[in-house]
A and B are shown apart, each in its own frame.
Chain A
Amino acid sequence: GQQLNQSPQSMFIQEGEDVSMNCTSSSIFNTWLWYKQDPGEGPVLLIALYKAGELTSNGRLTAQFGITRKDSFLNISASIPSDVGIYFCAGQLTGGSNYKLTFGKGTLLTVNP
C-alpha cells in the first residue's frame, strides 16, 4: 500500500526560527494536506494543496505540492510557542471509490521561548 515518509520525526527550535518539514511518497497523490494535532485534540487542517507545483500560504505557514506529485513540504516562519504540536502530512488519491487519507507518522515540534 501507499506509504508516506515524513521527516524530521521531531524538531527542537528557538522561538523566532523558521521550520521546514517534508513528506515523500512511494506513489502519487492528487491532494496533499497538512494537519496539526495538539495534545488531547484531533488533527486540524492547516493547508490543502490540489495541484502539482501549487504553493499555498496560510499566515506564517507555506506549503507546496511537489511537481512529481510524490512529495510536499511545509514551512513555518518566525515560530512562536503556540506552534508546538504534531504536524502531519496526508495524501489523498482520486479515482475509484476510496478517498481515504494516508498519513505520515508526524513531526513533533517543540518551540523554546
Chain B
Amino acid sequence: DSGVTQTPKHLITATGQRVTLRCSPRSGDLSVYWYQQSLDQGLQFLIQYYNGEERAKGNILERFSAQQFPDLHSELNLSSLELGDSALYFCASSVGFLAGNIQYFGAGTRLSVL
C-alpha cells in the first residue's frame, strides 16, 4: 500500500459527460501529480500541484482541469468526455516538488467512456 488513495476505482460514463477523480496523498506529502495511462501513449504526465498551487503542466487537455485543496487532497476534473479519454488515471504524491523526491502512486481510476 503506497499510502496514496484514489477514488473511485472504476468509472463508466458516456461521451459528453463530466467526471471528477479524487486523490488523497500520503500523509505529509505536499505535492500531487496526475498521470494518464493508455495503451498507445503509455504513462503521460498531466499536471502537478504543490501545497495548493499549480507547479507544472504536461500534456493536459483544455477540457481537463485539476485543483489541490487546503487539506492537500486533489481532484482531476474531466469534461466533455470523448471515447479517447478512456484510460487509467493515476495520482502520485511526493514530499516536495524537487527532483529526487520520490513519487508514490495510487492504484488508479479506470475511466471508461462509452
Bound-complex Cα distance A112 to B103 (A):
31
For B108, the chain A residues whose CB sits under 8 A away are: 41-42
A97 within 8 A of B: yes
A44 within 8 A of B: yes
Pair count A-B, CB < 8 A: 64
Contact (A101, B2) CB under 8 Å given A42-B108, A43-B43, A88-B43:
no
Contact A44 B2 (CB under 8 A): yes
A48 within 8 A of B: yes
The proximity string for A residues 95-110 relative to B, scoring 1 for CB distances below 8 Å and 0 otherwise, is 0011111111110000
A25 within 8 A of B: no
Bound-complex Cα distance A69 to B16 (A):
44
State the majority secondary structure of interface residues on A.
loop
The proximity string for B residues 77-114 relative to A, scoring 1 for CB distances below 8 Å and 0 otherwise, is 00000000000001010000111111111111000000
For B97, the chain A residues whose CB sits under 8 A away are: 97, 99
Instruction: Give the B interface residue count (CB, 8 A).
Output: 26
Contact B56 A98 (CB under 8 A): yes
Bound-complex Cα distance A31 to B100 (A):
7
A30 within 8 A of B: yes
A56 within 8 A of B: no
Contact (A104, B2) CB under 8 Å given A30-B99, A48-B102:
no
Contact A100 B33 (CB under 8 A): yes
Least distance between B70 CB and chain A CB atoms (Å): 22
Q: Which of A's residues lie within 8 Å of B, judged by CB? A: 30-31, 33, 35, 40-45, 48, 50, 88, 90, 92-94, 97-106
User: Given known contacts A42-B92, A101-B103, A103-B43, what 11 new A-B pairs fall within 8 Å (CB)?
Assistant: A30-B99, A41-B107, A42-B2, A42-B106, A42-B108, A43-B43, A94-B98, A97-B55, A99-B48, A101-B35, A103-B44
